[in-house]
Amino acid sequence: MLKYVSDNIKNLVPYQPGKPIEELERELGIKGAIKLASNENPLGASRKAIEAIRGYIGKIHRYPDGGGFYLRRALAKKWGVSEDAIVLGNGSNEIIELLVRTFVSPGDNAVVSENTFSVYRLIMTAANGDVITVPMKDGRYDLKKMAGQINSRTRLVFIANPNNPTGTIVATEEVEDFMKNIPEDVLVAFDEAYAEYVTSPLFPETLNYLRSGRNVTILRTFSKIYGLAGLRIGYGLTTPGIADMLNRVRQPFNTNAIAQAGALAAIEDMFHVEESRRINNEGKEFIYKEFDSMGISYLPTEANFIYFQAGADGGAIFNAMLKKGIIIRHIAGPNLRVTIGLPEENRRFVEAMRKVIGK
């Protein structure tokens, strides 16, 4: 059967999950390791969400609501859109997959930036689509060049804002120029998984494009600031017409009942969101200051992680940090990424970095 698998699939590199912390501790002979690699909320989920999840345990013998009626209604109220403009997903990753499966045929393409979320390329390649990759400019998306790469076979443009792994954003004026210079039948996916962490006044209000009828989909998730990463639930805000097409492809029970219950409660817990944002902003400024004192190069972030370089061999630094019980992410070459944690986690990270790089 393997001979019938397309070369696109054969050439994909499977995602390599990290080992459980307990296993790493056993292998390395250490205790108390901390994970600052996956951009999770160090505060965890809100109490309201946890209570809602516990309250649903006795109902898990029933299938979930296939349409996510109550969650979509709450999201529609939050964003001021109609309920039929919302598609729920098993994480926002599934919305990306639905977009590709729905609108991309073999030979069609998507325009993406280099050094961005790898799932765009993975899903496009698996669907036998082509990927046009545009270089970054100063660690940021170059929307002008991306617009210039769109052709008659372009179906999608993916814009991660803030971008993972760099934490940088594209600003309102840049997005407005971009949207003026692309065909209206090209679907733009604004991936805003980290938008709740943004503090910059330059961050674009992409809902305006949706309200004006443009072909856009705005991706959001409960995995980041809401702290529900383990439940895998996200959503897309789009036009009713696009949502209708996506729902024809979407599996009927794609989001589980416990995830829906937790997400529904999390929306209402603004105290948890604000506290998460406060902890993140304070941690960000602390790490900036420490990086400056160590001479570590980094990109200012609008997310809950920092992209940095601390030497020519990022892999060696990653491994050295691992032995000190600090799990960060090695991107490629000298490039590393650290999730902003709780104050004590940030201090441990900085202390370990000082020892690893000799400062």
The Cα 320–Cα 328 span in angstroms is 11
What pLDDT is stored for residue 20 in this prediction? 82
Residue 191: pLDDT over 80: yes
Under 8 Å between Cβ of 216 and 186:
no
The enclosing H or E element of 188 equals strand 187-191
What pLDDT is stored for residue 25 in this prediction? 83
Give the burial class of 105: count Cβ atoms within 10 A of its Cβ; 0-12 exposed, 13-18 middle, 19 or more buried.
Answer: exposed
Reduce the DSSP state of residue 217 to 3 states and report it. Answer: strand
Q: Alpha-carbon torsion 318, 319, 325, 331, what sign?
A: positive
pLDDT, mean of residues 194-223: 97
- Which strand ranges, in their side-by-side order, compose the sheet holding 109-113? 86-89, 234-238, 216-221, 187-191, 154-160, 109-113, 130-134
Q: Domain check: are 112 and 202 in the same one?
A: yes
pLDDT band at 174 (very low <50, low <70, confident <90, very high): very high
pLDDT band at 13 (very low <50, low <70, confident <90, very high): confident
Please state, rounded to an integer, the average pLDDT across all residues of the chain. Answer: 96
CB atoms under 10 Å from CB of 19, counted, come to: 12
Number of domains, the chain: 2
What pLDDT is stored for residue 156 in this prediction? 98
Q: Domain check: are 260 and 188 in the same one?
A: yes
pLDDT band at 1 (very low <50, low <70, confident <90, very high): low
Q: What are phi and psi of 194, to 5 degrees?
A: -110, 15
Give the pLDDT confidence of 254-312 residue by residue, as tens digits.
999 999 999 999 999 999 999 999 999 999 999 999 999 999 999 999 999 999 999 88
Treating both helix axes as pointing N-terminal to C-terminal, what angle do 92-103 and 240-249 enclose, rounded to 10 degrees? 90
Please name the amino acid found at residue 228.
L
- Please report, for residues 64, 255, 354, the alpha-carbon distance to residue 231 in angstroms, rounded to integers and kept in the order given: 13, 9, 36
CATH number at residue 62: 3.40.640.10
Domain membership of residue 39 (yes or no) is no
Residue 319: pLDDT over 70: yes
pLDDT, mean of residues 141-170: 98
pLDDT, mean of residues 31-44: 95
Find the domain containing 80 and state its range.
47-268
Q: Domain check: are 264 and 275 in the same one?
A: no
- Domain end marker among 268, 288, 306: 268
pLDDT band at 205 (very low <50, low <70, confident <90, very high): very high
Treating both helix axes as pointing N-terminal to C-terminal, what angle do 270-294 and 47-56 enclose, rounded to 10 degrees? 130
The Cα 86–Cα 75 span in angstroms is 8
pTM across the whole model: 0.95
Q: Domain check: are 289 and 166 in the same one?
A: no
Q: Domain check: are 336 and 206 in the same one?
A: no
Residue 359: pLDDT over 80: no
Planar angle of CA 302, 212, 179, nearest 5 degrees: 55
pLDDT, mean of residues 229-234: 97
What pLDDT is stored for residue 300 in this prediction? 98
Q: Domain check: are 88 and 153 in the same one?
A: yes
Q: Which parts of 250-342 fold into alpha helices (H)? A: 257-268, 270-294, 314-323
Domain membership of residue 38 (yes or no) is no
What pLDDT is stored for residue 280 in this prediction? 98
Give the pLDDT confidence of 40-89 residue by residue, as tens digits.
999 999 999 999 999 999 999 999 999 999 999 999 999 999 999 999 99
